[in-house]
Amino acid sequence: MKASIAPRGAWARRAVLAGLIGTAAVAAQAQGEVTLYTTREPGLIQPLLAAFTQQTQIQVKTVFVKDGLVERVKAEGQRSPADVLMTVDVGNLLDLVEAGTTQPVQSAALNAAIPANLRGSDGQWYALSMRARVLYADKGLKLPTFRYEDLADAKWKGKVCIRAGQHPYNTALVAAMIAHHGEAKTEQWLSGVKANLARKPTGGDRDVARDILGGICDVGLANSYYVGQMKGSKEGSDARKWGDGIQVVRPVFGGTQPGGTHVNISGAAVARHAPQKANAVKLLEFLVSEPAQAMYAQANYEYPVRKGVALDPIIGQTIGELKVDPLPLTEIAKHRKQASLLVDKVGFDK
């Protein structure tokens, strides 16, 4: 997930939430440090890291790596100072695992907090937050339910808006479709969606809402957290009008074995040569604790991975609780290359 600028008011909410975690800071000897390499915009997670330090007295050194995280860690080898590796896409996280730059973790706290389909079976990686690929739709439509497969139905011809098929948000969904239905049926589906497009796949997810409000299309796919960003924007702003001008439906996968709603994650792993492995595990365990998961929900309108944690009110009222697709993310991620090739094969972005 591309890091995004927080809506007005979010910084204040984060500061308040950070203050709620742990007791007031006391003058104490720091209990060591931990180094975090992350592709996530530091500002989005800084309140969480500050709260971790406040609670544990462990200092967090943050290194923002926009591109080339795998290459950097591999090049550093045993000399790498990285303890925790954090990404905003399960594919990027699994690239780190497959490159041999992570190590397994045995943690009862992590296993108890994170569902099995949202973590590596061998403890190599863990999801920390989720966002769903949901349907934005014209408010005048009656759509109590919707399947991803329905986007290829001819009744939506000329009525679908979406960003580029080669964008990671969409290739992940195509990969999930392959995992559910196989490559041949997914190709047929993708061709059907292309035939239904109202415009060339372009722009971002918020542009889907804009174009629905503008009458260019009736439905489109976009990430759930953008709803919070738009509806949380300043009253009267364009983004607020886009968010208020759509309804949001949670699609599910159909078929003989129906699935749930497709999600992607932000997640993390302990680096293979972590100098401070114990502190790295402490940081991961903190990030899936109830207070930290509440901060994830509030800071960027994300879905917590831990059950029982309240959603941000905007997300709760507009989208609601998810029935997450139970297919393991590792099963979906293995089809990423096939998905990208299919997008080109059907000329989706042309």
User: Whats the size of the chain, residue-wise?
Assistant: 350
Cα 41 vs. chain centroid, distance in angstroms? 13
How many of the other CB atoms lie within 10 Å of CB of 299?
23
> Coil, helix or strand for 142?
coil
Extract the tokens encoding 128. 């920390």
290 neighbors 306 (Cβ within 8 angstroms): yes
Runs of H (alpha helix) within 77-146? 90-98, 108-113
Q: What is the largest CA-CA distance in the chain?
A: 66
Extract the tokens encoding 312. 């941000």
Tell me which residue of 222, 314, 214, 306 sits closest to 262, measured CA to CA. 222
Extract the tokens encoding 251. 């699609």
Per the annotation, does 226 bind a ligand? yes
243 neighbors 230 (Cβ within 8 angstroms): yes
Per the annotation, does 169 bind a ligand? no
Runs of H (alpha helix) within 21-167? 42-56, 69-76, 90-98, 108-113
Extract the tokens encoding 298. 């509030």
- Helix (H) / strand (E) element for 161: namely strand 160-161
For CA atoms 267, 272, 275, 277, the dihedral sign is positive
Measured between alpha carbons, how far is 204 from 216 in angstroms, rounded to an integer?
Answer: 15
How many of the other CB atoms lie within 10 Å of CB of 75?
10
58 neighbors 279 (Cβ within 8 angstroms): yes
For CA atoms 304, 305, 310, 315, the dihedral sign is positive
Per the listing, tokens 């006391």 go with 26
Annotated binding site for Fe cation: 225-226
Annotated binding site: 225-226
